[in-house]
Amino acid sequence: MPLTSFFVSSPDTHSERRLDSDITVGQLKDKLVPITGIAQQHQQLSLHASDDGPAVAQLTDDGATLASYGLREFYVVKVANTDPNARPGEYTDVSAVDKFELTPAEYEARNDTVLSHLKANKLGRFADVPENLTHAPPAAVPASIKVGARAEISPDGGMTKRGTVRFVGLADIGKGGVWVGVELDEPTGKGDGAVDGTRYFTAAPKHAAFVRPDKVTVGDFPEEDILGSDDDEI
């Protein structure tokens, strides 16, 4: 069954269709009723090579096939309406349709609109501005963790290390949030107090480590030699 793509154009419609070119003109008219809204007996069909081109053929024989009239890919079948009672644009021209209109003030005063729903449920631009839920704010850091305090850090899966707190606060490290920077007693860290070009404190090479506050224990820790490394530090 040879399928052919072509356009159907009527006073109120224009669409692309793909049909078997061996169907008859009568069968095509039957299919065009729901597409164009024109009854079969009032359809007058003509075949064109383009929208603005002259008619290649008048499809007057309901028993003849589209192929016999020379239908080709992307030809245009124009459908004229011979109904004397037809009113072109009756179903497509909305210029004469009464419209329900509201001023902005009237719209805002109503309680059955999308705007009123968003306001009542604090959605969209009316939603509360969320706090930073990813990490605790600096106030959540224990007061004992402060710059100059001696501390032990215990990274997950790593050995305990001792040093002096040199930084406490928000830092653009990893996923951001609150970090504690510690100057280590031994060169078991991974940097010198700077991360990605931002310096948070100054330490000798490999004497700096950054950990989350919950990995820090503050106390009277004397310096001692601690060798090793920790892959979970930054």
CA distance 201 to 192: 8
CA distance 74 to 54: 15
Q: What is the pLDDT of residue 208?
A: 94
Q: What is the pLDDT of residue 222?
A: 85
Per-residue confidence band for 125, with pLDDT thresholds at 50, 70 and 90:
confident
For the beta sheet containing 161-170, the strands, ordered from the edge strand earlier in sequence to the opposite edge, are: 208-211, 178-184, 161-170, 150-153, 216-218
**Do 122 and 151 belong to one domain?**
no
Task: Tell whether 201 is covered by a domain.
Answer: yes
**Do 75 and 12 belong to one domain?**
yes
The neighbour count for residue 11, using CB atoms within 10 Å, is 18
**Do 121 and 154 belong to one domain?**
no
**Do 33 and 63 belong to one domain?**
yes
**Do 7 and 44 belong to one domain?**
yes
Q: Are 52 and 32 in contact (CB under 8 A)?
A: no
Using the structure block, give the residue that is written with the tokens 């839920």. Answer: 133
CATH number of the domain to which 44 belongs? 3.10.20.90
Nearest CA to 179 among 215, 225, 205, 203?
215
Q: What is the pLDDT of residue 131?
A: 54
Per-residue confidence band for 159, with pLDDT thresholds at 50, 70 and 90:
confident
Task: Tell whether 113 is covered by a domain.
Answer: yes
Task: Tell whether 92 is covered by a domain.
Answer: no
Condensed to tens digits (0 to 9), the pLDDT of residues 169-212 reads 999 888 888 999 999 999 988 899 999 989 999 999 999 999 99
Condensed to tens digits (0 to 9), the pLDDT of residues 23-75 reads 999 999 999 999 999 999 999 999 999 999 999 999 999 999 999 999 999 99
**Do 15 and 76 belong to one domain?**
yes
Q: What is the pLDDT of residue 60?
A: 96
Task: Tell whether 111 is covered by a domain.
Answer: yes
Task: Tell whether 24 is covered by a domain.
Answer: yes
- Is residue 119 pLDDT above 60, yes or no? yes
**Do 206 and 144 belong to one domain?**
yes
Q: What is the pLDDT of residue 164?
A: 95
The number of folded domains in the chain is: 3
Q: Are 59 and 69 in contact (CB under 8 A)?
A: yes
Task: Tell whether 211 is covered by a domain.
Answer: yes
Q: Backbone phi, then psi, for 40, in 5-degree steps?
A: -55, -45
CA distances from 97 to 102, 103, 106 (A): 16, 19, 22
Task: Tell whether 53 is covered by a domain.
Answer: yes
Using the structure block, give the residue that is written with the tokens 């999308």. Answer: 114
Q: Are 122 and 128 in contact (CB under 8 A)?
A: yes
Task: Tell whether 17 is covered by a domain.
Answer: yes
Q: What is the pLDDT of residue 176?
A: 86
Q: Are 36 and 17 in contact (CB under 8 A)?
A: no
**Do 171 and 198 belong to one domain?**
yes
Domain range enclosing 38: 3-81
**Do 178 and 161 belong to one domain?**
yes
Per-residue confidence band for 88, with pLDDT thresholds at 50, 70 and 90:
confident
3-state SS track over the chain: CCEEEEEEECCCCEEEEEEECCCEHHHHHHHHHHHHCCCHHHEEEEEECCCCCCEEEEECCCCCECHHHCCCCCCEEEEEECCCCCCCCCCCCCCCCCCCCCCHHHHHHCCCCHHHHHHHCCCHHHCCCCCCCCCCCHHHCCCCCCCCCEEEECCCCCCCEEEEEEEEEECCCCCCCEEEEEEECCCCCCECCEECCEECCCCCCCCEEEECHHHEEECCCCCCCCCCCCCCCC
**Do 125 and 182 belong to one domain?**
no
**Do 123 and 148 belong to one domain?**
no
CATH number of the domain to which 206 belongs? 2.30.30.190
**Do 212 and 145 belong to one domain?**
yes
Q: What is the pLDDT of residue 1?
A: 55
